[in-house]
Amino acid sequence: MVMLRKLRAIATEQAQRFNSEGFSTLFGMLIRELSDDYFATVAHHLQELSFRNGVLISARLGPGNKATNHVLRRQSGQDQSLFTRLFFNDGRPSFTVRVHPRDEAGLRALSELRDRGINLVANALAQSSDHILDFFTALRTELAFYIGCLNLQEELEKRAATLSFPVPASLDVRQHACTGLYDVCLALTIPEAVVSNDLSADNKELVVITGANQGGKSTFLRSIGVAQLMMQSGMFVGAQAFCANICEGMFTHFKREEDATMESGKLDEELSRMSGIVDELRPNCILLCNESFAATNEREGSEIARQIVCALLEARVKIVFVTHLFELAHGFHERHMENALFLRAERQAGGERTFKLIEAEPLTTSHGVDLYKRIFTPNAGAERREPEEHREPRVGASVGDM
């Protein structure tokens, strides 16, 4: 009761400072339900439940003259003064039985009788107590989310990261546009400023992302997923501006390491996970795929991914697919799909990564040779110019496999 009074006081003092529908409803409920009459009624009941004047119990005679149907009764003279209770009565006869202080069996019988009488009331009081405690537990959980949001906002502002409130679109449209989008998780783990990207994918159901290794493709994919979750949680997002349609559910299919138990191969494991995801997918969901089905050769992986993507597009599932499978990306690009967008991780002429994604068609290479030269020949100096057809291997070539 002390905490309820404190909560009502907070609601009364702070209600005018909140404009959101949720908090206005909460404060209005607290002020309305936790009224002075409510506290007076509860205090009166608690005073009665202390049983300072003993208990009044009624019972019926059952088989063998045993008492049954014990009921705790309100004492009629409880509200009367002591003088009235001592010198005035209602004229009904009363009988008194006194138990000797040393009669342990009699005292035990009286105690059991008392317990039976107050059992139902004790259960009701326990349920009321549990109900109020559950309310405080739920309130603590809800407020923890808001406190977490405030802590996140404070930490991101310390890192000079841009925040904005998103604009959600309805479920049945296809909108996805943002400027300055970045991965919030990455921004919290590195001291440097995170490179942001823009996206204009309105009326698009498929976004295919290709390009150079370590060019920021997976990071961009994570930023899309995190921003969608933050938006649908009612939070701010890590972007200058963000607008996307609401999704029924979000699913991710990222590549994993080899199975340590040796029970299945990588492709088997990938297909099993995708099968489980497909069983849960429904229209207006979003699926984020990162290097899916790259555990087999390019022709087979592309065909598997193509069939799955086409089937999910027919089921009105929104897909963002990061891949090195050129046959897959090129095949979709050659179809000139109006509902598809193709992005590519930017790479400068010298092999430097800008971590920017541009709208461009897929290339036959993922520039794996850049990593090879950086790791195996870090002091080789300037890059030797070679013919275009030999300088960068196709995906799946020996250097890329290394």
| Domain final residue pick, 97, 129, 158 | 158
At residue 90 the predicted structure's pLDDT band, cuts being 50, 70 and 90, is low
For residue 110, tell me if it sits in a domain.
no
The reply to whether 315 and 207 lie within a common domain is yes
pLDDT tens by residue, 94-151: 677 788 888 888 888 878 878 887 888 888 889 989 999 999 999 999 999 999 999 9
Structure tokens at 292: 């899916």
Q: With 60 as the cut, is the pLDDT of residue 83 above it?
A: no
pLDDT at 396 over 80: no
pLDDT bucket at 84, cuts 50 / 70 / 90: low
Task: Say whether pTM exceeds 0.75.
Answer: no
Q: Is residue 253 part of a domain?
A: yes
Kindly give the residue spans of alpha helices, DSSP state H, lying in 196-294.
Answer: 217-232, 266-280
**Same domain, residue pair 184 and 296:** yes
399: left (phi over 0), alpha (psi -120 to 50) or beta: alpha
Q: Which domain holds residue 317?
A: 167-363
140, 243: one domain: no
Compute the mean pLDDT over every residue in the chain, rounded to the nearest whole number: 86
Number of residues that this document lists for the chain: 402
Domain presence at residue 71? no
| 323 and 186 within one domain | yes
| CA quadruple 218, 312, 277, 244: dihedral sign | positive
Q: 111, 131, 158 — which closes off a domain?
A: 158
Q: What is the pLDDT of residue 35?
A: 92
In SS3 terms, 86-99 reads as HHCCCCCCCCCCCC
- In a domain, residue 88? The reply is no
Number of domains, the chain: 2
3-state SS record for 66-133 = CEEEEEEECCCCCCCCHHHHHHCCCCCCCCCCCCCCCCHHHHHHHHHHHHHHHHHHHHHHHHHHHHHH
Within this chain, do residues 187 and 270 fall inside the same structural domain, yes or no? yes
What are the pLDDT digits (tens) for 18-58? 988 989 999 999 999 999 999 999 998 888 888 877 788 88
